[in-house]
Structure 1
Amino acid sequence: MIADTKTPGGHGEPPLLVDIRGLSIGFAASGSGAPIVRDIDLAIRAGECVALVGESGSGKSLTARSLLNLAGDGARVESRRFHLRGRDARGFREADWRRLRGTVTGLVMQDALVSLDPLRTIGQEVGEVLSEHRILRGRTAIAARVRDVLGKVGIPDPEVRSRQYAHQLSGGLRQRALIAAAIAGDPDLIIADEPTTSLDVAVQAQVLQVLAERVREGAGLLLISHDLAVVSGIADRVIVMREGRAVDSGPTADVLMRPRHPYTRQLIAAIPSAASRGRRLASATPVGPSGPARAAPPPRRGPGDVPVLEVRGIAKDYPTRPGIGRAGSTLTALTDVSFAVRAGEVVGIVGESGSGKSTCAKIVLGLLAPDRGAVRLLGQPWSGIREPERRPLRPRLQYIPQDALSSFDPRYRVSEIIAANLAGLRPADRPGRVAALLEQVGLRADLAGRHPRALSGGQRQRVSIARALAAEPALIVCDEPVSALDIGIQAQVLDLLGDLRDRLGTALLFISHDLGVIQHLADRVLVFHDGRLVEEGPVGEVLCTPGHAYTRTLLAAQPRLAGGLPAHAH
């Protein structure tokens, strides 16, 4: 156990909102009966942000949810001390916990679209805590407070937005609406569980600014994140968790710039960056405070001269929905975008939400027809033709999504998911080929009989890669394939994609909001803004000496590690 608390009641110190000693959490139904979270100390003062970091399964979210009595059915929560705002929560009844949620503690989850009720307006979501806890009475007073809170979190036109539903808002606006719902009751403590995962750097910066403002106003913040750069920019103290225990803790700059524990150094070594380019991430081994030793991958075959993909002047317009813009007007998603991807080349696409990245990917995949321009795959027409004409080339173009689980048929086992891309192979030969593909992506052959829900997030993403490789593609479109993965699993998947590019010569069109990932993996980068390709070139030139003002804005918004060093310069 690592003690990470100050003595309560110290002279001149802000009050303790959370004072927990020796927290252990287990489940009676678990096979071993051993606690999942073991002997954790946690203290959070008013006006302070404490971050929990670590890989998936380390116990971060379980620890945070215990502060709301939401650890789960059958959870056994034990501690030597469990004080919330000076009260011993070990004696709380359910009614006490209900009063605490929303008024003393607010919760911000990772996926706002899932967390917000699709059948209720944003105003109803934000106003719920005000009416349920009788903080305000009367529709007029509640509506006024809702508008005020929406404005505080940076949502424009709060009167209009309060009448809209979650699906009518952008990702950044949804996340800010979720924060508004969490802070509407002016809670002393905010728990934010991966609140910026999968958001682009610009929207991420906006969301973090809202949370930081609440801390400056005196609220406590418990932040859970796998992004060490995000943690560095907002947290006062950090607790590093591994396998349910706290293995490192202290002031943020000390933990991230002078890590004491080998595991903390391992996490920092796994961050993709320009400096990690040409080296493996997952095999980086800590050799001391000075830095990690990284293993080099096999020699790489360079990109070929022949393009596998040619995109020429594509454009896409959408008619605006009623109530948005002028009647009969159009929204331009892409304008005159041209680029090529060569065999064995990794081309990155970056840009904020709404920049046209996903529209471009859909056109490349043949899922959306461009209004103007053309796409060619392996020298053959790809756009402007019917799907039956595409069918012979379709296996040569594959896709790796951000959320592998949602892309799988839940009825299928791993073997069936992969075998679906083995057209033309005799049924008797398929089990052997599936086993070989699983081995190629670093998975055991015996996983072929499992359903995807029985696999970890990293294993599911490897199955997604194996499915794509089964068709022996010339090009794989990767849409944020590592954004939702923790640091360690992200490192493994990036190493795998790099190896496949090096060994097989597979080209990748790689969409990411993480510039460090692009710097680590890509050969060239395309910068999208407002539907236009505003800058392109070798990744080292564009992201080190950008020529366009928008590229400089993206780089400026990228979170940095403690000490002012770029997160992706380690």
Structure 2
Amino acid sequence: MSKAAISISIPQPLVDIEGLTVHFGHADGGRPVVEDVSLIIHPGECVALVGESGSGKSVTARTLLNLAGNGARITARRFRLAGEDAMRFDAARWRRVRGREIGLVMQDALVSLDPLRSIAQEVGEVVTNAGLLRGRREIEERVIDTLARVGIPDPEIRSRQYAHELSGGLRQRALIAAAIAAGPRLVIADEPTTALDATVQKQVIDVLSRRVRDEGVGLLLISHDLAVVAEIADRVHVMRAGKVVESGPTAEVLSRPRHVYTRQLIAAVPSATSRGTRLSSARVDFEAASGSGDEDGQPQPIRIIRDPLPPRPVVSGEVVLDVASIGKRYRRRKGVGGGRETFVALDDVSFTVSTGEVVGLVGESGSGKSTCAKIILGLLKPDTGTVRLLGKPWSDIRESERRALRSKLQYIPQDPLSSFDPRYRVSDIVAENVWGLSRKQTLEHIVWLLDQVGLDSGFLDRYPRTMSGGQRQRVAIARALAAEPALIVCDEPVSALDISIQAQVIDLIGELQSRLRTALLFISHDLGLIHHVADSVLVMKDGRIVERGPVDDVFFHAAHDYTRTLLAAVPGPFAAS
């Protein structure tokens, strides 16, 4: 009787894998991309996979849907999904698994969502294919309810829109809605919060947490954001080069990591305590970490050591950028009743950026950050107000008149690959911003620029598609620096990068900024990163600046309720404040 009681009380694992190995023929020299990985996920449990790009996280997760990729050869000592032997599944059985039993949330919503279909069609298709509802009205109600549950405002309006009409944060939430609409027992979330600001990120975490906690759904979370992992995951597996190097309860792994690689990942997270230091130099005081331990014999919490960045130049009083009372309004469609309404994207926004200054710009998706950046870059004309660059008119003149000053204002995008001409090699990309030099001098200057960003001459003839995300971002920085700008607008320049690559790029920006005294307008949803890099910060909400000031003052002594809400939404032990 005792044994029977025990067998009934322990739920059957949704995922029970032992010794998973995945090969792709002769790729990577014949080495497996995933090697001897074991994974168990129970109902009502969140398990996280963390590690750098190429560590095998996504391949491991996609294998659960038989989507590891063309040519994948999968072996395992045990591979069971909800008690069934998945190694025996045929194509039809795998089709029933996808969406109905296992939902998948991808990282890049713009690629994953069909540009020719409305959000309602995207989410409704999942419900229809699962055979849950048949009536049109019932399906519409499920779509609206699901969009609301993932924090999409005005879900009836948004359901009628297309992916390109939504902000990055709203697109990602729509993708999450599609993954959970059919009520799968297991959800695989592959970097689900990478592009989201703190408050929206919290909404998404709350949605996923509720499904785990209240509905007994299993969640496999893949993320390089350790704060998100700390907030939601029960257990964590740290992967490197296809292998799990450390695993255990999340609180234990993140507070008392045993493996060197895990310690390096944690040490590279930017925050207030890392200001003025090189993130990529972060290391653990092994003597302290491997000491006698606490009274339970556990290792002591890690102590992080970092090397300092070069001293920052004193911010001068010379104004590089002067934004004065700019406003922008749009006409957009209403929801169910039709018609059009006025949407205020920006309202009376004013600020300045001085030589050598780093100004952070934060706010949730839809707050006006991107619209503000487009106006500053001269890509969008404000309805009211003006922008002046280096004391000269900028926003209210024709593009032909801007050309003399255009080189002084540069841009580092979130996704450099989409900003590069796919026909161009690295040398062509950087050369776009080099003028007045002979061919030989141009080549020498490009080599020097690549050296400044940690790339050698071997990259000159490379195409960006053959490079890693961190390498592409370095090329984007070299292109921006080639023009010797007075101001660089950095729009989420590291949000899609792994922790260690992010640390390298942030260190590079900080070092070059210190040496060249270039002003930066740094846009990010990562408040810890803003606290690390910025001198001052602007907080935006609903198209207005609601708080501004030195970064320590704003983050440690926030005056506005919205700023406090943003700070409170930063998950886990890695909070900005």
Under a length normalisation based on structure 2, what TM-score does the superposition of the two structures give? 0.92
Which residue number in structure 1 is paired with residue 357 of structure 2? Answer: 345
Which residue number in structure 2 is paired with residue 527 of structure 1? Answer: 539
Q: What is the identity, as a one-letter code, of the residue corresponding to 1:99?
A: R
1:292-340 per-position Cα deviation (integer Å, ceiling 9, x unaligned): 2111122222212211111122222223346699967532222222211
Which residue number in structure 1 is paired with residue 317 of structure 2? Answer: 305
Matched, 1:253 2:265: no
Contact 2:333 2:341 in 1 (8 A): no
1:500, distance to aligned residue in structure 2 (A):
0.7
Which residue number in structure 2 is paired with residue 25 of structure 1? Answer: 22
In structure 2, stretches of 5+ residues that fail to align are 1-5, 290-301
1:172, distance to aligned residue in structure 2 (A):
3.9
Q: What is the identity, as a one-letter code, of the residue corresponding to 1:236?
A: D
Paired with 1:451 and 1:56, the residues of 2 have a C-alpha distance of 19
The number of residue pairs the alignment matches comes to 557
Contact 1:303 1:342 in 2 (8 A): yes
In structure 1, stretches of 5+ residues that fail to align are 1-8
Contact 1:172 1:207 in 2 (8 A): no
Matched, 1:262 2:260: yes
Contact 1:14 1:47 in 2 (8 A): no
1:475, distance to aligned residue in structure 2 (A):
0.7
Which residue number in structure 2 is paired with residue 5 of structure 1? Answer: none
Which residue number in structure 1 is paired with residue 575 of structure 2? Answer: 567
Matched, 1:115 2:112: yes
Paired with 1:315 and 1:138, the residues of 2 have a C-alpha distance of 44
Distance change (3 Å), C-alpha of 1:218 and 1:328: closer
Q: What is the identity, as a one-letter code, of the residue corresponding to 2:438?
A: R
1:568, distance to aligned residue in structure 2 (A):
4.1
- Aligned runs of 1:175-324 on 2, under 5 Å? 175-216=172-213, 217-288=215-286, 289=289, 290-321=302-333
1:367, distance to aligned residue in structure 2 (A):
1.6
Matched, 1:468 2:468: no
Q: Does the residue aligned with 2:407 lie in a helix, a strand or coil?
A: helix
Equivalent position to 1:58, from 52, 55, 58: 55
1:233-284 per-position Cα deviation (integer Å, ceiling 9, x unaligned): 1100010111111111100100111111111111111000000001100111
Paired with 1:540 and 1:157, the residues of 2 have a C-alpha distance of 35
Distance change (3 Å), C-alpha of 1:296 and 1:164: closer
1:501, distance to aligned residue in structure 2 (A):
0.9
1:145, distance to aligned residue in structure 2 (A):
4.0
Which residue number in structure 1 is paired with residue 297 of structure 2? Answer: none
Which residue number in structure 1 is paired with residue 3 of structure 2? Answer: none
Distance change (3 Å), C-alpha of 1:325 and 1:361: farther
Paired with 2:454 and 2:148, the residues of 1 have a C-alpha distance of 48
Once the two structures are overlaid, the 10-residue window that deviates more, 36-45 or 122-131, is: 122-131
Which residue number in structure 1 is paired with residue 409 of structure 2? Answer: 397
Contact 1:308 1:474 in 2 (8 A): yes
Distance change (3 Å), C-alpha of 1:259 and 1:410: same
Distance change (3 Å), C-alpha of 1:21 and 1:285: same
Q: Does the residue aligned with 2:274 lie in a helix, a strand or coil?
A: coil
Contact 2:156 2:336 in 1 (8 A): no
Which residue number in structure 2 is paired with residue 12 of structure 1? Answer: 9
Paired with 2:493 and 2:201, the residues of 1 have a C-alpha distance of 18
Once the two structures are overlaid, the 10-residue window that deviates more, 320-329 or 506-515, is: 320-329
Paired with 2:198 and 2:233, the residues of 1 have a C-alpha distance of 18
Paired with 1:214 and 1:384, the residues of 2 have a C-alpha distance of 50
Contact 2:48 2:235 in 1 (8 A): yes
Distance change (3 Å), C-alpha of 1:131 and 1:387: closer
Which residue number in structure 2 is paired with residue 506 of structure 1? Answer: 518
Distance change (3 Å), C-alpha of 1:153 and 1:274: closer
1:94, distance to aligned residue in structure 2 (A):
1.3
Which residue number in structure 1 is paired with residue 395 of structure 2? Answer: 383
Which residue number in structure 2 is paired with residue 489 of structure 1? Answer: 501
Once the two structures are overlaid, the 10-residue window that deviates more, 315-324 or 459-468, is: 315-324
Under a length normalisation based on structure 1, what TM-score does the superposition of the two structures give? 0.93
Contact 2:168 2:195 in 1 (8 A): no
Q: Does the residue aligned with 1:369 lie in a helix, a strand or coil?
A: coil
Contact 2:194 2:495 in 1 (8 A): yes
Which residue number in structure 2 is paired with residue 551 of structure 1? Answer: 563
1:84, distance to aligned residue in structure 2 (A):
0.7
Distance change (3 Å), C-alpha of 1:136 and 1:11: closer
Q: What is the identity, as a one-letter code, of the residue corresponding to 2:241?
A: E
Paired with 1:157 and 1:525, the residues of 2 have a C-alpha distance of 29
Q: What is the identity, as a one-letter code, of the residue corresponding to 1:192?
A: A
Contact 1:275 1:568 in 2 (8 A): no
Paired with 1:79 and 1:319, the residues of 2 have a C-alpha distance of 56
Paired with 2:109 and 2:418, the residues of 1 have a C-alpha distance of 17
Contact 1:441 1:496 in 2 (8 A): yes
1:533-559 per-position Cα deviation (integer Å, ceiling 9, x unaligned): 111111111111111111111101111
Percent identity among equivalent residues? 65
Contact 1:175 1:207 in 2 (8 A): no
Q: Does the residue aligned with 1:213 lie in a helix, a strand or coil?
A: helix
